[in-house]
Chains A and B, each alone.
Chain A
Amino acid sequence: MTDQTIPTMGADTSSTVATPAGEPILEVDNLRMYFPIKSGGLIRRTVGHVQAVDGVSFQVPVGGALGLVGESGCGKSTTGRVITRLYKPTGGAIRFDGRDIGNLKPRALKPFRRDIQMIFQDPYTSLNPRHTVGSIIGAPLAIHNLVPKKQILSRVQELLEVVGLNPEHYNRYPHEFSGGQRQRIGIARALTLQPKLLVADEPVSALDVSIQAQVVNLLQDIQREFGVAFLFIAHDLAVVRHFCPEIAVMYLGKIVEIGERDRIYRHANHPYTQALLSAVPDVKQAAIGGRRERIRLEGDVPSPINPPSGCRFRTRCPLAQEICARQEPPLLQIGPRHKVACHFAGELGQHPFKPVTARLLGVDDQGNPDPGAGPPTELFTQPGFADTWFDIKGRSSVEP
């Protein structure tokens, strides 16, 4: 199972310590981020909450990479920002290297700042236009007082070389660089403190397509060379597929499906994931003369202020039935490293007609409490993956 976690690392990358899958660098447990909505006027009462992230759990292995995908406004960027503690989470735990950093005060957080860094989406606003490249990349060293002032420059030049820029350009300003070069500067800044985890918030979506591949390859080289773990947030499924051995799909603040790359891309079980994947242009499919059928979702994403009851996707889901409005589907493990949150989980075209989760939740097929069904089954709700899983075809627990 360990090998499957980090297949991109290859067998020859001896520098990366292949840790057991049980030792994640980052573990996010039931993370919630609600933004209060204040009324206008003198006394600003809280009149509601934007539930941007609502109960998200996942793990990122040491030196591994987890892709977080979803459409705009689904909370994936917010998740990244909460993990880097730009925001204080409303609830849940962020365990980094075994310690919960979710509730730390800014002062106590400072040592962790060295280990978690972020690559931003827009290279045009993420670099201070009034600072030289040298002072941008050297800022982390100056802030943390790590090296004497005289050595900052040599370290900056070293980093510029790592990201493929001319080390002599440390004295230039960001406006003298192109978008791709600026993103490289942003990456160099994130690397300065030699972090253990990099949160990449759509690192290539603001870049020209021809540059995207270069930057993604650079990130991959960095991962291989320094063993940095990545939380890769993107809406470009192709980029995520290239980069991440594990992928989580988010919809309206919740993870709807999470699992290994191949499970997600070839055996997606959630109707939302299937719709998302059907929208990706496929060259191979075009070459053999056919077009995959696209699943068109009707309507807009509902408001995260007042999300739908039960399953949040039900308002746009082609499979939705009564139970979907009554019961929230649990994130159910259906394979060795595959979890899905759907009452009618199944591969495209093979969705069951009866909810697979009814018996587990102790309800009948319409989602009403069913006294005859017996008590609800104890479900595995930890961020990682359990050794046993639920087989949706056989409708029973399976051990490997």
Chain B
Amino acid sequence: MTTGTELESHFIATDLGPEAPEDRKVASKSPTQLALARFRKDKLSMVSFVIVVFYFLAALAAPFLVQAGVLNPFTTHDELLDANTLPLGGFGGISWDHPLGVEPGVGRDVLSRVWYGITFSLAISLSATLLAVIIGVVAGIVSGASGGWIDAIIGRIIDLTLAFPQTLMLLALSSVALAFITEVLGVPAGDPARALYVIVVLGLFGWTGVARIVRGQVLSLREREFVHAAQLLGASKMRLYFREILPNLWAPILVTFTLIMPAFVSAEAALAYLGVSIHPPTPTLGNILRDSLSYAQNDFVYFFSPAFLIAVIVVSFNLLGDGVRDALDPKGHQ
């Protein structure tokens, strides 16, 4: 599997700058450089990486485009609808002005809505992923590095979290929790409160996998001599956990991040479908999909747009996660 050229490419002549002459001309590549080289070689990962970047750029640009009036996700177009409030013209009313047609019912531009919807969907799932990863990493490091009863307690909390019927909880608690968020925390009612609720719930239930992976890594890291060396120097626990151990965990963290994110994109869509997440008229991919389902037979383009966008981002993120994992861990998988 390892070819000669691949072996050679592990050693490259590097420009060592002014003091180069007295140094060795051949420097070994760092593990990071090797991983990047492997990643670049993997076409599928590169394609999915480009798609993911494209999504994020679109999500970042959308608010400005809405402000500039290029996207009009809230403007209704009654004149483009027929008597049954279905779009006039073929394929959901596709035209130059409305490349993905208009929405049945009120006639808003579908492209503007899904584009703006990406922004909210990604913002929510990204925040939830960050929350889950932060909780998971801290819990995993503390659990793995301290061991003993702390490890046991965190392990039981993970079991408990996994055993929780979270979807039911989410639905049942939503009104109570929303009231708490608006009244006690002072978050504006409506979309901000609902978004926060979804982020917190996804984060609070999604950290377990991260914690387990991180804990496993820490168990092997803490036996390395550099950890002992830091202990000998009198390093505090905080320093030990977050300065010595944490920097060695970024590879598994990156992998879990890219694998959790797509799960949260679809989870957010499912929650929006159940009516827990942000409500229309503010678009998210999930609530557009929910709305479009009632028109699935009469207006396929409208139904197809959000579904397709969700599918693409989820698949791309998953492939990206696989690619990152393969690049960082050349021995496993395949």
A residues near B (Cβ < 8 Å) are 81, 84, 86, 109-110, 113-114, 116-118, 120-122, 125-131, 139-140, 143-144, 166, 168, 173, 175-176, 186, 189, 193
Q: Which of A125, A175, A193 contacts B224 (CB under 8 A)?
A: A125
The 10 closest A-B pairs by CB, nearest first: A130-B247, A126-B225, A113-B234, A128-B226, A120-B225, A125-B224, A110-B234, A125-B225, A140-B233, A143-B233
User: Which secondary structure characterizes the binding site on chain B?
Assistant: helix
Within 8 A of A (CB), among B217-237: 224-226, 228-236
Instruction: Say yes or no: A189 contacts B229, CB within 8 Å.
Output: yes
In the complex, A168→B22 CA distance in Å? 12
| Chain A CB within 8 A of B244 CB | yes
Tally B residues with Cβ within 8 Å of A. Answer: 21
Query: Are B247 and A139 neighbours in the complex by a CB distance under 8 Å?
Result: no
Q: Cα distance A121–B260 when bound, in Å? A: 39
A86 B232 Cβ-Cβ under 8 A: yes
Q: For B27, list chain A residues within 8 Å (CB).
A: 176
List 27 contacting pairs A-B, 8 Å CB cutoff, sorted by A.
A86-B228, A86-B232, A113-B234, A117-B232, A118-B228, A120-B225, A120-B229, A121-B225, A122-B225, A125-B224, A126-B225, A126-B228, A128-B226, A128-B230, A128-B244, A128-B248, A129-B31, A129-B248, A139-B230, A143-B234, A143-B239, A144-B234, A173-B30, A175-B30, A176-B28, A176-B30, A193-B233
Contacts of B225 in A (CB 8 A): 120-122, 125-126
Quick check: is B97 within 8 A (CB to CB) of the other chain?
no
Checking B30, B31, B226, B231 against A125 with a beta-carbon cut-off of 8 angstroms, the contacting residue is B226
**B15 at interface, CB cutoff 8 A:** no
B231 proximity list for chain A (CB < 8 A): 86
Q: Contacts A173-B30, A176-B28 hold; do A128 and B247 have CB atoms under 8 A apart?
A: yes
Interface bits B230-264 vs A (CB < 8 Å: 1, else 0): 11111110010000100110000000000000000
- For A144, the chain B residues whose CB sits under 8 A away are 233-234
Residue of B nearest to A175 (CB): B30
Does B233 lie within 8 Å of A139, measured CB to CB?
Answer: yes
Question: How far does the Cβ of A162 sit from chain B's closest Cβ, in whole Å?
Answer: 18
Interface hits, B1-37 → A, CB 8 Å: 19, 27-28, 30-31
Q: Which residues of A contact B239 (CB under 8 A)?
A: 143
Bound Cα distance from A116 to B233, whole angstroms: 9
The minimal Cβ–Cβ distance linking A58 to chain B, given in whole angstroms, is 21
Residues of B at the A interface (CB closer than 8 Å) are 19, 27-28, 30-31, 224-226, 228-236, 239, 244, 247-248
Contact partners of A139 in chain B: CB under 8 A: 230, 233, 235
> A128-B244, A130-B248, A143-B239 in contact; A113/B229 too (CB < 8 A)?
no
Q: A128-B226, A128-B248 are in contact. Are A113 and B232 (CB under 8 A)?
A: yes
Alpha-carbon gap, A84 to B232, bound state (A): 7
Once the chains bind, are A168 and B19 in contact (CB under 8 Å)?
Answer: yes
Q: What residues of chain A lie closer than 8 Å to B247, measured between beta carbons?
A: 128, 130-131
CB-defined contacts of A176 to chain B, threshold 8 Å: 27-28, 30
Could you tell me the distance in whole angstroms from the C-beta of B35 to the nearest C-beta in chain A? 13
The chain B residue with its CB closest to the CB of A168 is: B19
In the complex, what distance in Å separates the CA atom of A81 from the CA atom of B228?
9
Residue of B nearest to A44 (CB): B152
Besides A120-B229, A143-B233, 16 other CB < 8 A contacts? Answer: A86-B228, A113-B233, A118-B228, A121-B225, A125-B225, A126-B224, A126-B226, A127-B226, A128-B247, A139-B233, A140-B233, A143-B234, A168-B19, A173-B30, A176-B27, A176-B30
A143 lies within 8 A of B226 (CB) = no
Q: How far is the CA of A97 from the CA of B319 in the complex (A)?
A: 60
Give A194 to B225 CA distance when docked, in angstroms.
20
Task: Pick from B27, B31, B234 the residue with the most CB of A within 10 Å.
Answer: B234
Contact, CB under 8 Å: B233 / A175: no
Distance between A2 CB and nearest chain B CB, rounded to angstroms: 31
Which A residues touch B226, using CB under 8 A? 125-128
A109 near B232 with CB under 8 A, answer: no
A22, B141: Cα distance in complex, Å: 46
Q: Please determine whether A118 and B232 come into contact, CB atoms closer than 8 angstroms.
A: yes
- Residue in B28, B229, B244 whose CB lies within 8 Å of A175: B28
Complex CA distance for A117 and B229, rounded to whole angstroms? 9
A118 touches B229 (CB 8 A): yes
CB distance from B209 to the nearest CB of A (A): 23
With a cutoff of 8 Å between Cβ atoms, the chain A residues found around residue B19 in the complex are 166, 168
Closest-by-CB residue of B relative to A84 is: B232
- Measured between beta carbons, the chain A residues less than 8 angstroms from B230 are 128, 139
Minimum distance in angstroms from B14 CB to a CB of chain A: 10
List of A residues within 8 angstroms of B229 by Cβ? 118, 120, 126, 186, 189
CB distance from B168 to the nearest CB of A (A): 30
* Interchain nearest-CB distance for B226 vs A (Å): 4
Instruction: Report the minimum CB–CB distance from A241 to chain B (whole Å).
Output: 26
Min CB gap B92→A, angstroms: 52
Most buried by A among B19, B224, B226: B226
Q: How far is the CB of A368 from chain B (nearest CB, A)?
A: 47
Min CB–CB distance A210 → chain B (angstroms): 16
How many angstroms from the CA of A166 to the CA of B235 in the assembled complex?
27
Please, how many angstroms separate the alpha-carbon atoms of A143 and B31 in the complex?
Answer: 28
> Chain B contacts of A173 at CB under 8 A?
30
Q: Are B235 and A143 in contact (CB under 8 A)?
A: yes
Q: Which residues of chain B have C-beta atoms less than 8 A from A175's C-beta?
A: 28, 30-31
Closest to B231 in A: A86
Residues of A contacting B28 in the complex (Cβ-Cβ under 8 angstroms): 175-176
Residues of A within 8 A of B234 (CB): 109-110, 113-114, 143-144
Chain B residue contacts of A193, Cβ below 8 A = 233
Q: Once bound together, how far apart are the Cα atoms of A113 and B235, in whole Å?
A: 10
Shortest CB-to-CB span from A202 to chain B, Å, is 11
- A241 and B232 CA atoms in complex are apart in Å by 28
